[in-house]
Homo-oligomer: A and B are copies of this chain.
């Protein structure tokens, strides 16, 4: 068996394509039960390249923390499954990942006041130029960065939200302190892009990695928009699950080949 879908001369080095291939392959049983990868020679044959090219890929993944090579023994997998991030009416960060990691955290990295740009204002039902509070946030699971989000709130309605968020470590808690008992996700738009330099740094991504981007609008129970946020997820560590509200579906956690 040769050439598992590699493309030459397209601006992406073979070793990088192979690295991506191995990373994906791990999810679908490339490694054996002990987490041991096939030997380099075998991988080289499977991908139809020289062993050194495979070594470059493995080296990149090792540097990235996915693999670990041991001379004479083999190459072993370190991390495994992607986290499942549910999107629905009651989407919340920590609750969503609950149980899938030993420890999930959501921490504010910075906040600022700024005038509303046109699209954000329109989403929040405000006038462009009205003052907003912008909160930058990073979500981690077991110490590994998972997402990076930017949220906007009306500065008039929620002047104290950065302080409350910093203190409680939870948007939900902070909103309660600001008088919002509960809220719901009104809409979510999903797109995918290559990670830029900042993403790569902040999310500890492999260069050329993919990010999933959600643009979300949260409203209070009266349907009044209160939070607009854009979240960037590391696509190789997270997948999004959209839940329709009326019923939890039967088999939606499974993944077909």
Binds B, one of A30-38, A163-171, A234-242: A234-242
Interface size range of chain A in the complex: 35 or more
Contact call B5/A242, Cβ cutoff below 8 A: no
In this complex, which of A15, A187, A240 has the most chain B Cβ atoms within 10 angstroms of its Cβ?
A187
Q: How many copies does the complex hold?
A: 2
Q: In the complex the two chains form, what is the Cα distance from A242 to B231 in whole Å? A: 14
Q: In the complex the two chains form, what is the Cα distance from A60 to B12 in whole Å? A: 13
Closest CB in chain B relative to A40 CB, distance in Å: 18
Q: In the complex the two chains form, what is the Cα distance from A208 to B245 in whole Å? A: 35
Closest CB in chain B relative to A141 CB, distance in Å: 17
Main SS of chain A's interface residues?
mixed
Q: In the complex the two chains form, what is the Cα distance from A196 to B219 in whole Å? A: 39
Chain B neighbourhood of A207, CB < 8 A? 7, 10-12
Contact call B251/A123, Cβ cutoff below 8 A: yes
A 126-175 contacts with B by CB, 8 A: none
Not counting A7-B208, A193-B210, A225-B250, a sample of 6 additional A-B residue pairs whose C-beta atoms are within 8 angstroms of each other reads A82-B191, A120-B254, A186-B252, A187-B244, A192-B235, A230-B256
Question: Residues on A close to B: CB < 8 A?
Answer: 5-7, 10-13, 15-17, 19-20, 24, 60, 82, 84, 87-89, 117-120, 122-125, 184-194, 196-198, 200, 207-208, 210-212, 215, 217, 219, 223, 225, 228, 230, 235, 239-252, 254-257
